[in-house]
Structure 1
Amino acid sequence: MKPKNDIQNEENIKLLVDTFYDKVNQNLILSPIFNDFAAVDWSSHLPIMYRFWNGILFGEGGYKGNPFEKHIPLPIDKTHFENWLNLFVETVDEFFEGNKAEEAKQRASIIAYTFQSKLEYMNGKKNDLK
């Protein structure tokens, strides 16, 4: 078995992001959210994700935006976040090992937990107002 390197540069991030979203597009739970409901334009979304993860892992990339805001209208719940995180971790583990790989998985876990918690709170709050 070939030894794996750590995530070291933008080329590695592109491999991670491209492979991860290929898996998302094949996932029966996530693909309809991304492709049908959100109608993601992959040619513009993927470069944004490269900048996002480059910023998270290396403090570079020029990502600007509020990723949580884009998730508010989506019909997503715990199952979606679990699938997203499982695919992300699987993809990192498929190609990489080391400190940055572990950091990427931790950051993804924090993002999934935070987004899920905020959406549950917001949806609960909306239901309380009815």
Structure 2
Amino acid sequence: MNRFAADISGRADLDIVLRRFYTAAFADPRIGPYFTRIAGTDLEAHLPRITDFWERSLFRTAAYRRNAFAPHAALHSVRALTAADFGRWVQLWHATIDGLHSGPNAERAKAQGERIALTLHRRLAGPDADLRGEGTTGFVPLAALELRSAA
């Protein structure tokens, strides 16, 4: 955590967080292919929608009215999203936020990201899904600590 950074205060901060996060996610060897090859995500088209989602999640100020589950279900039908994939998403999400912000909203964004990842994984893989991931001791792999310290 960057204890000298300001908290996430609104849409402009979310735009920066999300741009940095998706740049890392697109380049990530584990989860990048979901965005680039499978979904063919256009970041510039995706950013306003996902910023609406996070702005509504954190501040209740945006009108996000899409089904967030449907695109994940479509990806899962092409290539299964595993606990390790969601764990990697959470690692990158935490590292991005910790590298830019600190405070109650930043902590809430990280906690909300974890809840979303867990909920999506359970809905996709079933309520008895293995939440440990491949070769990890928990839903968020311990390597997240290395990412956080490198941010």
TM-score w.r.t. length of structure 1: 0.89
Question: CA separation in 2, counterparts of 1:20 and 1:41?
Answer: 14
Correspondences of 1:1-130 after superposition (within 5 Å): 3-74=4-75, 75=79, 76-121=81-126
What SS class does the counterpart of residue 64 from structure 1 fall into? coil
Distance (Å, rounded) in 2 between the aligned partners of 1:2 and 1:86: 18
TM-score where L is the length of structure 2 = 0.77
* Unaligned runs of at least 5 residues, structure 2: 130-151
- Partner letter of residue 12 of structure 2? E
In the TM superposition, what is the alpha-carbon distance from 1:73 to its structure 2 partner?
A: 2.2
Structure 1 residue runs of 5 or longer lacking an equivalent are 125-130
More helix by share: 1
C-alpha distance in 1, partners of 2:110/2:98? 9
Alpha-carbon deviation of 1:56? 0.4
Aligned residues: 123
RMSD over aligned CA atoms reads 1.7
Kindly state the Cα deviation for residue 50 of structure 1 after the two structures are TM-superposed: 0.9
Structure-2 separation of matches of 1:117 and 1:52 = 20
Q: Secondary structure at the match of 1:65?
A: coil
State the alpha-carbon separation in 1 of the partners of residues 74 and 4 from structure 2: 42
**Matched residue of 1:73: which SS?**
helix
Deviations 1:61-107 (A, max 9, x none): 21111111111121211111011010000001001111000000000
Shift of 1:52: 0.7
Pairwise CA distance, 1:2: 8.0
Number of the residue aligned with 2:148: none
Contact 2:3/2:102 (<8 A) preserved = no
Moved over 6 A (4+): none
Distance (whole Å) between structure 2 residues aligned to residue 60 and residue 119 of structure 1: 29
